[in-house]
Structure 1
Amino acid sequence: MKRAAFLIFALVVFAAMAVAVLIRSMTGEDDVANGWGGGGVPVEVSPVETREFVDIVEALGTAGANEGVTITAKVSDTISRINFDSGDYVEEGRILVELASAEEAAGLNEARATLREAEREMTRIRDLTERGVAPQSRQDEVLAVLERARARVSQIEARVADHIIRAPFSGIIGLRHVSPGELVGPGDAIARLDDTSVIKLDFTVPERFLSVLAEGMQVEARTSASEQTFTGEIARIDSRVDPVTRAVTVRALIDNEDGELRPGQLMTVEVRRDERQRPAVPGSALTRYGNEVFVFVLTQTERGTSVERRLIEPGIRINGMIEVLSGLEVGERIVSEGVHRVSEGMPVTVADEAPASPNGAGSATTSSGGVR
């Protein structure tokens, strides 16, 4: 009897639950509880905007001077005069250092005196030869002496010139390493001269990017010493690929008239290519199923606002925005937050809608050391 009473009680409870479920489904209470009724599931919405995307090849490079040379002496002698200070800007041809040349100066005076004497003798013999008093052979002998005297003067003048060190081009002098009275010889560093009006920025990229690089492409570079972005363009691509690193060296030229950059600085380089305008959506709006990517697009139905699952082809990402290659049109509204709570055809309520960007523009980059 107890078992029969228990079974009857259980049947009554089950029947009551079934009736309650039926009543709730008929009155729509389940829809309200699950968000299908009472306006639908609350979601945040964003419009599909047009943004500017660009592929960027990133690399590290080293800044170099347009022209750079270490100032050295051609001969061994003591420094008699230094005509520059460290950090000076010097024009091409300016005398930087003078070496002692008293011995050469004396030899030059002697050679010039010998030359003047040979010229007077040549004038006298030519007159005698024209009058037939002196033979032609005598004139030839004096002419040879005159030519040797001229060569001697030129030789000593060249040696004297070697004692005067001039700037081979205009630029900035670095720290000097010598003092007046110091003995210097060939190869001894006196100072460094750099023309920094243009910076040669050399950087390397993997050989697989050779197909996307070309002379004339724009580059942007930055240093840790400044927040400024420096722009330039690719001037040369090396003719060889390093067989060890499998990388190629690229040289870009950057205008540096303001002197912000210095040779030797480490710079991060971005090579911009393939600038384009494409639809873009927030990364939070994407859902993935296997290799497919979907977004939920808002649609209007008889029951109100609902969502439609749309397959898209994504591109690159920048600052949380995803490039859309296909599947969406500019102006469509998509679910940007709350995608995990919705499904195909479900009614939704717009809880918040992100405003469109004022210009709808942005830029996308590529991965470090390559294309992102």
Structure 2
Amino acid sequence: MHLPIFTAAFSAVLIASAGLSGAGAQEGSVQNVIVAPAVADRFVDQVEALGTTFANESVTITANVSDKVAEILFEDGQQVEQDQILVLLRRDEQRAELEAAEAVLAERRTAYNRASELERRQYTATAQLEERRAAMREAEANRDGAKARLDDREIRAPFEGVVGLRNISPGTLVTPGSVITTLDDLDPIKLDFTVPAAYLSNIQPGLAIVATTTALPDREFRGTVRSVATQVDRVTRSITARAFIPNEDHALKPGLLMTVRLLKNPRDAIMIPEEALVPSGTQTFVFVIDRDDNKAERREIETGGRRPGAVEVVSGLERGELIVTHGTMQVRDG
């Protein structure tokens, strides 16, 4: 559910009333003030943190064997499917070995089937059948080994994702561990961030977040906490959480620094403009306008959370009551 971070503008009304008297003005003089209604709105508490993005899955594509590159079948930045062939190494020798191994297997399978039929008719000994079975299994193992060596010459994508920049060219001699390219699954993208351990009870899987980055200043990214680390850092007394953010357009890249706002305790709240507050010591007051006679009542309220330009009222006001937002210094109770 979308939880608005910034409330809509409070509608303002200009009121002129003889009942609003200034502290230093003559009794009964008219004072003009601006008022606005207390409105009901959705509100969430926020905790800010810094985090770093990571690919959902990430791997460095390397070769398993030593050979020369025969063909490159991907472009830089291309979206590829799981098991898609990315690079072919020279494999003529391995293909010939596989064909030879398959021919031997076919011959030994035929010999085994013949021996099995003769054994069924009791024309040959069981021991000879077992020899044929062992020979056939040996040929199957040789065939499988030849196929594996051929497959090593086909470098495939282990999962769906986006390939990075290639580091090879056709004819390049690669060896085990030679970096060919990278592969990243960018949707969704992971966001790891740390928060003080004091917030441990609030950071739970499913908690909504909003993240921003200076690299994309005009966008907000919404996601949810997926998991929380099992240990608190003993030095910083903080804990790491991981959120997942949908990233269909791949705008977010691994390694970005992001500001994270954790959205907890969503609720319906009474909101008023921040300018309406009249602090006095440890207490907070507002001037409430009586709609019948336009008299001002100085009323104590209890405030809750805040967001830019607005304050949550926990108690002391009802939805729709008019309060003075500008001109509070000119107004007194009654």
Cα pair distance change 1:341/1:120, threshold 3 Å: closer
Quick check: which has more Rg, 1 or 2?
1
1:299: how far off?
5.2
Query: Within the alignment, does 1:119 sit opposite 2:119 as a pair?
Result: no
Counterpart residue type for residue 309 of structure 2: G
Identity, in percent, stands at 43
Does the residue aligned with 1:331 lie in a helix, a strand or coil?
coil
Query: Within the alignment, does 1:225 sit opposite 2:240 as a pair?
Result: no
Does the residue aligned with 2:201 lie in a helix, a strand or coil?
helix
Does the residue aligned with 1:276 lie in a helix, a strand or coil?
strand
Counterpart residue type for residue 248 of structure 1: I
Cα pair distance change 1:148/1:289, threshold 3 Å: same
Cα pair distance change 1:275/1:117, threshold 3 Å: closer
Task: Write out aligned runs for 1:55-134 (5 A).
Answer: 55-126=45-116, 129=119, 134=124
Higher relative contact order (CA 8 A, sep 6+): 1
Q: Distance in 2 between matches of 1:62 and 1:328?
A: 42
1:344: how far off?
4.0
Cα pair distance change 1:124/1:269, threshold 3 Å: same
Q: Distance in 2 between matches of 1:291 and 1:233?
A: 37
Equivalent position to 2:278, from 287, 309, 333:
287
Equivalent position to 2:165, from 175, 189, 207:
175
Equivalent position to 1:329, from 318, 321, 334:
318
Task: Write out aligned runs for 1:308-323 (5 A).
Answer: 308-323=297-312
Higher helix residue share: 1
Q: Distance in 2 between matches of 1:325 and 1:342?
A: 24
1:145: how far off?
2.2
**Aligned residue for 2:187?**
197
Query: Within the alignment, does 1:268 sit opposite 2:294 as a pair?
Result: no
Cα pair distance change 1:74/1:295, threshold 3 Å: same
> Paired residues, what number?
313
5+ residue gaps, structure 2: 1-20
| Comparing 333-342 and 157-166, the one that deviates more | 333-342
Compute the TM-score of the two structures, normalised by the length of structure 1: 0.74
Deviations 1:194-231 (A, max 9, x none): 22232222222222112223222322222333323222
Does the residue aligned with 1:239 lie in a helix, a strand or coil?
coil
**Aligned residue for 1:259?**
250
1:40: how far off?
4.4
Q: Distance in 1 between matches of 2:98 and 2:22?
A: 111
Equivalent position to 1:135, from 121, 125, 130:
125
Q: Distance in 1 between matches of 2:299 and 2:125?
A: 112
Q: Distance in 1 between matches of 2:188 and 2:67?
A: 35
Q: Distance in 1 between matches of 2:176 and 2:22?
A: 93
Counterpart residue type for residue 94 of structure 1: Q
Counterpart residue type for residue 201 of structure 1: L
Q: Distance in 1 between matches of 2:236 and 2:208?
A: 25
Q: Distance in 1 between matches of 2:114 and 2:266?
A: 83
Q: Distance in 2 between matches of 1:163 and 1:33?
A: 90
